[in-house]
Structure 1
Amino acid sequence: MNIKGKTILITGGASGIGLESAKQFLGEGANVIITGRNQTKLDAAKRILPLVTIIQSDVENPEDSKVLFEKVVALGGIDILYNNAGVGSPALNLGIANEQILRNAIYEMNVNYFGVIRLNTLFIDMLKSRKESAIINTTSILSLVPALEEPTYAATKTALSFYTRILRKNLEILNSGVKVFELLPPVVATEMTAKRNDKKITPEQLVKALISGVKKDQFTIRVGDTKLLYIVSRFFPKLAFNLVNPKKIYASLKY
Structure 2
Amino acid sequence: MKTTENTIFISGGSAGIGLEIAKKFSEAGNKVIINGRDNERLQNALKQLDNVTAIQGDLSVKEDRLKIAEELNSNHPTLNIIINNAGAAFINDLSDVNNNSAEKAYQEMNTNYISVIDFTSAMLPKLLKQKEAAIINVSSIAVFRSNKYLPTYSASKAALHSYTQGLRDTFAENENLHIYEVYPPLVNTDFSAEIGGASGIPPAEVADELFVALSKNQFEVPVGDSKKIHELVNPISDQVPH
The one-character-per-residue Cα deviations of 1:163-185 (angstroms, maximum 9, x if unpaired) are 10110110114x35210000001
The one-character-per-residue Cα deviations of 1:129-183 (angstroms, maximum 9, x if unpaired) are 000000000111010111221011100111111110110110114x352100000
The one-character-per-residue Cα deviations of 1:70-98 (angstroms, maximum 9, x if unpaired) are 21123223100000001101x22244213
Distance 1:67 1:118 in 2: 13
State the one-letter code of the partner of 1:195.
E
Assess, with a 3 A threshold, how the Cα gap between structure 1 residues 7 and 99 changes in structure 2: closer, same or farther.
same
Aligned residue for 1:120, secondary structure, equals helix
Partner residue in 2 for 1:253:
none
Assess, with a 3 A threshold, how the Cα gap between structure 1 residues 218 and 135 changes in structure 2: closer, same or farther.
same
- Report the TM-score when normalising by structure 2: 0.91
Partner residue in 1 for 2:9:
9
**Which of 1 and 2 has greater Rg?**
1
RMSD between aligned residues: 1.7
Mean Cα deviation higher: 59-68 or 9-18: 59-68
Determine if contact 1:128/1:176 at 8 Å carries over to the other structure: no
Aligned residue for 2:100, secondary structure, equals helix
Partner residue in 2 for 1:183:
182
Aligned residue for 2:181, secondary structure, equals strand
Distance 1:70 1:233 in 2: 38
Assess, with a 3 A threshold, how the Cα gap between structure 1 residues 71 and 94 changes in structure 2: closer, same or farther.
closer
Instruction: Structure 2: state its 5+ residue gaps.
Output: 236-242
Indicate yes or no: 2:94 matched with 1:88. no
Q: When the two structures are aligned, how many residues end up with a matched partner?
A: 233
Indicate yes or no: 2:101 matched with 1:101. yes
Percent of aligned pairs with the same amino acid: 36
Partner residue in 2 for 1:69:
69
Instruction: Structure 1: state its 5+ residue gaps.
Output: 236-255
Determine if contact 1:186/1:226 at 8 Å carries over to the other structure: yes
Indicate yes or no: 2:119 matched with 1:119. yes
Alignment of 1:12-91 (within 5 A): 12-77=12-77, 78-89=79-90, 91=91
Distance 1:168 1:109 in 2: 21
Determine if contact 1:145/1:233 at 8 Å carries over to the other structure: no
Indicate yes or no: 2:157 matched with 1:153. no
Distance 2:17 2:28 in 1: 16
The one-character-per-residue Cα deviations of 1:46-81 (angstroms, maximum 9, x if unpaired) are 122142111111111111111111211232231000
State the one-letter code of the partner of 2:185.
P
Assess, with a 3 A threshold, how the Cα gap between structure 1 residues 178 and 231 changes in structure 2: closer, same or farther.
closer
Quote how far apart the aligned CAs of 1:196 are.
Answer: 3.4
Alignment of 1:228-239 (within 5 A): 228-231=228-231
Distance 2:155 2:114 in 1: 13
Aligned residue for 1:102, secondary structure, equals helix
